[in-house]
Amino acid sequence: MITNSFSFDPAPLRAQFPALHQETNGRPAVYLDAPAGTQVPQRVIEAISQALTLGISNLDGPFPPSARSRGIVAGARGAMSDFLNARRPEEISFGQSMTSKTLNFSLALNKSWRAGDEIVVTRLDHEGNVSPWLLAAEQRGVTVRWLDFHPEDATLALESLPDLLNERTRLVAVTYASNALGSMTDMARVVQMAHAAGALVYVDAVHYAPHGLIDVQALDCDFLACSSYKFFGPHMGVLYGKYELMAELEAYKIRPASSEPPEKWEQGTPNIECLAGITAAVDYIASIAGEEGSRRERIVRAMGLSREYEMALSERFLRGATAVPGLQVYGITDIERLDERAPTFAVRLAGWSPDELQESLAAKGIFTWAGDYYAVEAIKRLGFADKGGFLRIGFVHYNTLAEVDAVLQALNDLAAG
């Protein structure tokens, strides 16, 4: 539970986000759709604009725009290396999205699989970390084993994972945090069990990245994917992989191409202007903790500050939700377990479909999301695949307690209406 002594003022941070100052139907816009993509601070907009204004080019030319592009790419690798605490920038590669990176990577990783091998996927994951592995397994005649979750609190049934692992297991693909239900995974425990069985671990950290500190060295995961538009940057996918593995594996890509990571894992000319935006997004996060220390040290402090504030937002929402007639919140609802979830809530309101709720809240200037959010197996497991899924309400550190109160009041009004 959050104590009243904690204070975090989002106002100076909100001032940096132009989109947060827009209006809808004469009302201040309330962005509670961060799980579908966060807004970006001015420095990200300016970084992208400056890259295009000054001029960029492909990477191998002997002229200034090409040198500028090389600097932008190197800067983005360094920024994401700090954000994830990679051992070296060469462990970072970029692409269109996490889903496209994972799909492409699955076609490389499965080259070493043989019929009779096994992989493990979960029913809690986004399809971006399920379908690529199902397709890769089908291609090689590999058996797929499913790790279930507990419906009552949407936490992975990690106690069942040892029963799914054996000497034939080649990969465990697992989410760090559910994009639909908010529950977080004890990833260190997953990695330990998988490695003990000789399996590699591929982590989907897309939803976890804006809410929790990532340290790939401490986790010892083999691969980790995330998306910068979920943590205040542009639409790009990022893949971390242990250098020795990324160097050894054969990439699935066109020729001619570099045979060395990270370039061997990137398709075509990079999106250079958006890479400038990624660096700016990481620098924004670091700036939350001030100017003292290295960028990684500031990221560590910043994520701690924002995490505690987001838990305060979660507590405010969960306490208020109990007073809304007919409102049911799914996932972890115990105030004492806020450290086990992201500030992302799947809800249903009696008498309303999720689509109707989304539309009614949008008319009030409150932006949420309805459906399954591509968490197909999770919504199916909970029995709502043919019932419109859920309404998803998601907070990040630029949201305010007043915005939490606003959505609770709006839900109260709809319940009474």
Structure confidence at residue 4 as a pLDDT band (50, 70, 90): very low
- Which pLDDT score, from 0 to 100, does residue 417 have? 83
Is residue 329 domain-shared with residue 260, that is, in the same domain? no
Distances (CA, A) of 353 to 152, 394, 399, 409: 21, 18, 25, 18
Q: How many other CB atoms are there within 10 angstroms of residue 51's CB atom?
A: 21
Q: Residue 280: its pLDDT value, please?
A: 98
Domain boundary among 285, 318, 335: 285
pLDDT digits (tens, 9 = 90+) for 36-65: 999 999 999 999 999 999 999 999 999 999
Phi first, then psi, for residue 243 (nearest 5°) are: -55, -45
CATH of the domain at 408: 3.90.1150.10
pLDDT digits (tens, 9 = 90+) for 321-363: 999 999 999 999 999 999 999 999 999 999 999 999 999 999 9
Write 270-274 long-range contacts (CB < 8 A, 24+): 270/59, 270/73, 270/94, 271/94, 271/96, 271/234, 271/236, 272/51, 272/56, 272/69, 272/72, 272/73, 273/48, 273/51, 273/52, 273/56, 273/72, 274/48, 274/228, 274/233, 274/234, 274/235, 274/236
The mean pLDDT value for 64-84 works out to 98
pLDDT (tens digit, 9 = 90+) per residue, 370-380? Answer: 999 999 999 99
Q: The tokens of 135 are what?
A: 């397709």
Q: What is the mean pLDDT of the chain?
A: 96
Identify the band that residue 258 occupies on the pLDDT scale cut at 50, 70 and 90: confident
Give me the pLDDT at residue 190, please. Answer: 98
Quick one: average pLDDT of 175-181? 98
Report which DSSP code applies to 387.
T
Does 370 lie in the same domain as 238?
no
Residues 218-245 have a mean pLDDT of: 98
Which residues span the domain enclosing 343? 11-40+296-416
Prediction pTM value: 0.97
How high is the pLDDT of residue 2?
45
Total of domains in the chain: 2
Give the model's pLDDT for residue 81: 98
What is the DSSP code string of 205-233? -TTTTTTS---HHHHT-SEEEEEGGGTTS
